[in-house]
Amino acid sequence: MKDREMVVLINFLKSGLSTRELDRLLGLQSHLTKGWESWRILKKYMLKNDDKGKLFIYSERQSREIIKKLMNSPTPDFINNFIEANQPKNIEKYKDTFVIAKSERAFSNILSGETRNIIQGFFSPLKKIIGKCQFKNCTSKEQLDTVHYLIDRPKIFKNSAKTFRTEIGNGYFKYDVYKIMENFLQSHAKKRSVCFLCKKHHKEFHDAEKNNGFMKQFKKNIVFD
């Protein structure tokens, strides 16, 4: 029973799934249950619909630690109170760290590997749920890649960097790494920000990027439900 509840809680609080999606994840016919089974579990732990996705920028490991505490001692506003008192550990190392650079592009190049790695780990719970390549009729379940569907990773990062920069003169900017990484992760909260593709269709995705008309057609074959 506790395992079942953990599935509901982590995928509601971190992955931001709706109660109907959660019921489907539990193997129930969501069109019949209308999400009520999952909602019963959320209500048991005093969670509200507004709590959906509130642990989005926290790692899977820290999210599970938080949820275990909630399950042991549920109280109203538990999640809000925890967030106020605890920062995400996955970006803790960036606290009070700043980079001086001439442009978002130069800054992005420095942290390109960091942003790639953090996104791969960040979406691992959702990748496990999806379980297979999202390209239509593809059944591959091996070595799925996290692919940015709406806006590519470097552009998202540059947008975040531009938001949290301070001009210091002589054409240089000071970038607040912690705030930028926090905003970068939060920017992925939008539905369909990423999809999961096998190596073959990941390559085809990038090939399609070279031709906007072809990309529009390619994206129509990516299944999200």
Taking a C-beta distance cutoff of 8 angstroms, is the pair 14, 56 a contact? yes
Main-chain dihedrals φ then ψ at residue 169, nearest 5 degrees: 100, 160
Angle between the N-to-C axes of helices 78-85 and 60-72, in degrees from 0 to 180, rounded to the nearest 10? 130
33 vs 209, more confident: 209
Taking a C-beta distance cutoff of 8 angstroms, is the pair 63, 185 a contact? no
Q: pLDDT class for 3, splitting at 50, 70, 90? A: confident
The string of pLDDT tens digits covering residues 147-157 is: 999 899 999 99
The string of pLDDT tens digits covering residues 12-48 is: 998 888 888 888 888 887 777 788 889 999 999 999 9
| Full domain range(s) for residue 207 | 92-219
Looking at the fold, whether 200 and 143 belong to one and the same domain comes out as: yes
d(CA 144, CA 133): 7
Residue 225 in domain? no
Taking a C-beta distance cutoff of 8 angstroms, is the pair 195, 224 a contact? yes
pLDDT greater than 80 at residue 166: yes
Residue 210 in domain? yes
The string of pLDDT tens digits covering residues 101-129 is: 999 999 999 999 889 888 888 888 788 88
Looking at the fold, whether 29 and 112 belong to one and the same domain comes out as: no
d(CA 220, CA 199): 18
Helices (H), the chain: 2-13, 19-25, 30-33, 36-44, 60-72, 78-85, 104-110, 112-122, 124-130, 153-163, 177-186, 199-208, 212-219
Residue 145 in domain? yes
Looking at the fold, whether 130 and 71 belong to one and the same domain comes out as: no
Looking at the fold, whether 73 and 137 belong to one and the same domain comes out as: no
Residue 203 in domain? yes
Percentage of the chain exceeding pLDDT 70? 100
Last residue of a domain, one of 86, 103, 119: 86
For range 151-179, the mean pLDDT: 95
β-strands 172-176, 145-148 pairing: unpaired
Looking at the fold, whether 127 and 209 belong to one and the same domain comes out as: yes
pTM of the model: 0.82
Taking a C-beta distance cutoff of 8 angstroms, is the pair 88, 59 a contact? yes
pLDDT greater than 80 at residue 66: yes
Looking at the fold, whether 102 and 206 belong to one and the same domain comes out as: yes
Last residue of a domain, one of 52, 86, 120: 86
Looking at the fold, whether 208 and 136 belong to one and the same domain comes out as: yes
27 vs 218, more confident: 218
Looking at the fold, whether 106 and 208 belong to one and the same domain comes out as: yes
Looking at the fold, whether 133 and 215 belong to one and the same domain comes out as: yes
